[in-house]
Structure 1
């Protein structure tokens, strides 16, 4: 029997690119993070090891600590309450710099433990910046699906792209607009819609994009109650992306956060749909804490066709 060894590109955020973020410690299903001037502690289901700092140190350092509601199961949408120390604001702003790209993002303490960005995605923002800058197409068209608060959207816009941002939640689209304005940018196209319904229509219209960014959740709901289940819908979504992606000059970034999906699944899906004549990278996005513990935060698969 022949065994094939696949080498995955392991990506780590470069500290000089993300001075406003640090993973301080992780363990016991939690993570301790600094966003700008403030430190927050919140659940992290993949931190299955022990903390390196004591609970007392975590309590001392954290400006806000997320406490799950009783009866909540571990998962991405855990509800709870932030316990804040004096001086901890409900909202604040952080900056991100890479080469000539300068972004600002408003953060906030939400009831679902999130703060408004996924810091490991900084590596993908860098990739988007490099690829858009290399393109010969003037103002390449970029589509960001399941776009959340728009980190990738404003990264693409700051790099010179014409950006369409799609998310099913009106409130986070409004949040994304704030981030665009904070970053001194304008003219992103905002769409509140179910991602799969939107791309089906785009395929029928024959619309093409030079870049497509996908951050699908494991489960989700559209604005009219449409159900999204990753394993049921991802194949159709990727096939629609093949129809929409410019065959001469295009890129695609796929992120998967479900613990049941590996980078090899993403690679197989992409190769079967787009062929093997592409410049593909895949692997895990992760962050190091101060004690050199590597916290995995999703798999990625991304490529250019030029």
Structure 2
């Protein structure tokens, strides 16, 4: 079987995914519709994640630690984490497409809340230089593995393990500027030293700092999230409240995961593109 990632089906608050030769069944809170494929397909799952009293993976055979798969021309190392995440977020394909289209060689891109590095890979694949910021060293190490899997120049990535707001404040003091920004903040998180992040309280602080870091030839600012209530228009309103509306155009849409059956809504994104 080709070593790819794709979604086979969804419904009844679950999704069925293919990771190369492995089939997994995970929760999907947005999938309120009935499953399209019959139980024989779903019962073929090699791994199932249960959010019952304890978050736990059940394997029908030998426990699998990780899989390397291809998605959108990029390779990812997928792991079976205690939270049910596997390290790939295919809904961000629209972000990667936008970066590929609008980034130029040697552009400086800031990827905040970089996680396992999908946007970082998309950035350096265009020849840009990416600063990847995440509060977790383990996550940054995982992102480095993904960059290496794609045989990209890891020296074009500046790896930062720190609280996002603290890092941004230092960058402003240093006078650094960037040509592109990618932000995918969590609803709630903790910095490298226990700092508490809440999107509804801290997103404004981040935007105030980001605007100060925009170069004169900044090409784009992308803001996405998976927080209930943060619709595409909410994110667009946040961006246009801080970025000069005369300098470019604003767009927003729902994030979707493509599937063999129905597309799965998976958050929201808004972005500003320079004129």
Count of residues paired in the alignment: 271
2:250 is matched with 280
Q: Which runs of 4+ in 1 moved over 6 A?
A: none
Moved more, 198-207 or 222-231: 198-207
Q: Distance in 2 between matches of 1:269 and 1:255?
A: 11
Q: Quick one: which of 224, 231, 238 aligns to 1:269?
A: 238
Q: Quick one: which of 213, 218, 228 aligns to 2:187?
A: 218
Q: Quick one: which of 200, 204, 216 aligns to 1:231?
A: 200
Q: Tell me: CA distance 1:148–1:42, structure 2 relative to 1, closer, same or farther (3 Å).
A: same
Contact 2:178 2:215 in 1 (8 A): yes
User: Residue 304 of structure 1: CA displacement?
Assistant: 1.9
User: Residue 201 of structure 1: CA displacement?
Assistant: 1.4
1:231 alignment partner, SS class? helix
User: Residue 249 of structure 1: CA displacement?
Assistant: 3.1
Q: Distance in 2 between matches of 1:203 and 1:213?
A: 17
Q: Quick one: which of 111, 115, 120 aligns to 2:86?
A: 115
1:147 is matched with 114
Q: Quick one: which of 37, 52, 58 aligns to 2:36?
A: 52
2:95 is matched with 124
Q: Deviations over 1:111-148 (max 9, x none)?
A: 1000011011122112111111xx4xx50001111000
Moved more, 230-239 or 276-285: 276-285
Q: Distance in 2 between matches of 1:129 and 1:289?
A: 23
Higher relative contact order (CA 8 A, sep 6+): 1
Aligned pairs (5 A) from 1:66-77: 66-70=49-53
Moved more, 247-256 or 147-156: 247-256
2:56 is matched with 81
Q: CA RMSD in A?
A: 1.8
1:4 is matched with none
1:3 is matched with none
Q: Distance in 1 between matches of 2:19 and 2:253?
A: 25
Asked whether 1:65 is paired with 2:64, we answer no
Q: Distance in 2 between matches of 1:243 and 1:52?
A: 48
Q: Distance in 2 between matches of 1:276 and 1:39?
A: 46
Q: Distance in 1 between matches of 2:197 and 2:215?
A: 26
Contact 2:19 2:67 in 1 (8 A): no
User: Residue 56 of structure 1: CA displacement?
Assistant: 4.6
2:132 alignment partner, SS class? strand
Task: Tell me the TM-score normalised to structure 1 length.
Answer: 0.84
Contact 2:7 2:15 in 1 (8 A): yes
2:259 is matched with 289
Contact 1:209 1:250 in 2 (8 A): no
Task: Tell me the TM-score normalised to structure 2 length.
Answer: 0.93
Asked whether 1:300 is paired with 2:275, we answer no
Contact 1:247 1:305 in 2 (8 A): no
Q: Quick one: which of 148, 161, 175 aligns to 1:192?
A: 161
